[in-house]
Amino acid sequence: MKTSNTLLFASVVAALAGFLFGFDTAVISGADKPIQLLWNTSPLFHGTFIISMALWGTVIGALAGGIPCDRYGRKNTLIAIGVLYLVSALGSALAIDPYMFSFFRFIGGLGVGASSVAAPTYISEIAPAARRGRLVILYQFMIVLGILVAFISNWAVGDSFGDVSWRWMLGLESAPALVYLIMVLGIPNSPRWLAVYKRDYQATEDCLDILDPLGEGIYLLAGIEEYEAGSGSLDSVSSGDSFFSGRYKFSILLAFLVAFFNQVSGINFVIYYAPRIFESAGLASSTALLSSVGIGLVNLVFTMLGIYLIDRAGRKQLMLYGSIGYIVTLSVVSWAFYTGASGTIVLLFLFGFIASHAIGQGAVIWVFISEIFPNHIRASGQSFGTGVHWVFAAFITLFILFFMELLGDNPAPLFAFFAGMMVLQLVFVLRIMPETKGKTLEELELELIRL
């Protein structure tokens, strides 16, 4: 089945919100030390207020992102996200004090959190079942690409502009933000949102004609109409059917567990503190920094492999591969730190850990959460799962350095803990997680409500 040019364009443009997500998250690494020196802030204030403000914005943006998605539509929310990124980039670059800087970083965090709700939801709703996985995973690919480009951009700017180099690093984000904002104006609305929330079937057909000029999309509309007539989902919208009603308990459980296990794998610990981890393993500082770039490249390559496999092997199979890879690599890294083994072993198996994540959780999480909720609460479900993801990310990020100091910079117990959590994830994948590959969103709803 061929993907239409318009469908591919709309999916890529929506996924560009993920590129800005990744860029915004990583670009701060270049401004971290310069702004602390410029404003002479204490380590506590710098870490818990200035740097963490974007993270708290992300948590709030994720938890609240479903509201505008449902009320104003997926497209309009994606437009608003572009404005948030643009304002954040320019405001952060021009900030005159730490409070102004923190405010605009918080604005950017709202964009990151909201984009992780709106973009996967939008792409999942415009994509045919057979290609939904590889189109939604474009969002994760763009996140990884954005992180890598931010690191390269920071390196390219370096000290070229002296004391204001950090302002250029942050301000450069405004360029892709502006491009995204212009492009997102040209994508169509989600046909499922028009059908379920607006009950405008003529507009739905018009959107399907744009997205799928070959006419295959008419089956999607027929499926929505048949499903709505039989299940009463439109009535659920009108009556305010509660998100936390028992009817959706299994979908809520799935979203919670996938998001929870994503973070207790230790992925953010490794991404954020890779140089520190490598130095703890005995690698030189310069080698540690270079190894961090290697992590970014491994992540990108195996995310591309995930794009190829997700609609072929399926979500559950990729999670199985990833879980086994997690357990093996994390266990070996923990053993290496316990025994004082060569830092090369830590380096190689952390690369393996990143590969396991990229092909497993990294490839699956945004796709899976966007598939398991009914049409009328999909944005709320995406918001819930994403919110769980970011809340645990915030706690791990804030407290992990405390545990590192407590452990004397030997993270062996932390890696052992993460490995144990991945054993539990393996049990979840084998016993609870359903396969969603190749099924329409309406078929999945009817299946999951019965469970």
Find the CATH number of the domain harbouring 18.
Answer: 1.20.1250.20
Check residue 177 and give its pLDDT.
98
Query: What single string gives the DSSP state of each residue in 318-383?
Result: HHHHHHHHHHHHHHHHHHHHHHT--HHHHHHHHHHHHHHHHHTHHHHHHHHHHHSS-GGGHHHHHH
Check residue 229 and give its pLDDT.
56
In a domain, residue 406? The reply is: yes
What is the distance between the alpha carbons of residues 375 and 45, in angstroms, rounded to a whole number? 43
Q: What is the pTM of this model?
A: 0.86
DSSP 247: G
18 and 72 inside one domain:
yes
Could you read off the pLDDT tens digit of each residue along the chain, which spans 451 residues? 556 789 999 999 999 999 999 999 888 877 888 898 899 988 778 777 887 889 899 999 999 999 999 999 999 999 999 999 999 999 999 999 999 999 999 999 999 999 999 999 999 999 888 889 999 999 999 999 998 888 888 888 888 899 899 999 999 999 999 999 999 999 999 998 998 888 887 888 888 888 876 555 555 665 565 555 555 554 455 444 577 777 889 999 999 999 999 999 999 888 777 767 887 888 776 565 667 678 888 999 999 999 999 999 999 999 999 999 999 999 999 999 999 888 889 999 999 999 999 999 999 999 999 999 988 899 999 999 999 999 998 888 777 767 877 877 788 999 999 999 999 999 999 999 999 999 888 889 888 876 6
Please answer whether residues 114 and 88 qualify as being in contact, where contact means their C-beta atoms are separated by less than 8 angstroms. no
Provide the 10 A C-beta neighbour count for residue 38.
15
176 and 224 inside one domain:
no
165 and 202 inside one domain:
no
DSSP 187: S
How many structural domains comprise the chain?
A: 3
95 and 21 inside one domain:
yes
In a domain, residue 377? The reply is: yes
Residue found by looking up tokens 């993920």 in the block: 18
Please answer whether residues 127 and 296 qualify as being in contact, where contact means their C-beta atoms are separated by less than 8 angstroms. no
What is the distance between the alpha carbons of residues 160 and 324, in angstroms, rounded to a whole number? 45
Please answer whether residues 22 and 147 qualify as being in contact, where contact means their C-beta atoms are separated by less than 8 angstroms. yes
In a domain, residue 92? The reply is: yes
270 and 300 inside one domain:
yes
Q: Any residues with CB less than 8 A from the CB of 68 and at least 6 apart, and which? A: 76, 77, 80, 114, 118
17 and 142 inside one domain:
yes
312 and 409 inside one domain:
yes
In a domain, residue 43? The reply is: yes
Domain that holds residue 214: 192-231
In a domain, residue 149? The reply is: yes
268 and 394 inside one domain:
yes
291 and 154 inside one domain:
no
365 and 388 inside one domain:
yes
Check residue 36 and give its pLDDT.
85
45 burial (CB, 10 Å; 0-12 / 13-18 / 19+) is middle
Give the residue from 170, 187, 204 where a domain finishes.
Answer: 187
182 and 205 inside one domain:
no
In a domain, residue 236? The reply is: no
In a domain, residue 237? The reply is: no
